[in-house]
Amino acid sequence: MTEPWEPALTRLRAGLGHAFDELLARVEVGAERLDRRPLDGGWTPREVLEHVTLTDRYLLILAEKIAAKARLRAARGATWPAHPPRFEHLERLAGRALAWEAPAHMRPGGAVTTDELRARLAEDRRRALALLESAPGGLATLHRIRMSVVGGEDDRLDLYQFLEVLRLHARRHTAQIDRALVDS
């Protein structure tokens, strides 16, 4: 089963690739600019990038669990939905209006090198795209988990939606880095 799924999966694949390319490009702005604190006292671009990699670590662990459970359900003969999931309701996660305090384990420590950031982001990209490729044509919809930050009745996300959250998180923080680079 692929036909109605292909446009959504192609869009998600391209979006994930683009989001990680944008983050990787920000790593290359130079150490001086990466370490400049914005005027508002917020995180430096390096700290933002470190936060993204820390958050990716935990989001990808959850995504791998969703994928594994979806494969188990497929093996048991679960019925696949006929149409791709919705993504529009997740869009607000990329906006500045969403206030969310990062838990301690996702806050930057400030001791990550440019090479480490580059390597972590490249590996996060590889893992996210591999998860997407491992779940063709609807497989990833067979298991969903609750994500409180989404809220509302659509707070249970499948793997495709979870990967969209990863993309939106990257987009949100790319914009934050760009503001910091201009502001500092």
Element (H, E) at 108: none
pLDDT at 44 over 80: yes
State the Cα–Cα distance between residues 52 and 90, nearest whole angstrom: 18
Average the pLDDT over 12-33 and give the result: 95
pLDDT tens string 152-173: 566 778 999 989 999 999 999 9
Class of domain 3-183: mainly alpha
Phi/psi of residue 146, nearest 5 degrees: -80, 135
Q: pTM (2 decimals)?
A: 0.89
Q: What is the mean pLDDT of the segment spanning 57-69?
A: 94
pLDDT given at position 1 = 47
DSSP state of 102: P
Mean predicted confidence (pLDDT) in 93-113: 72
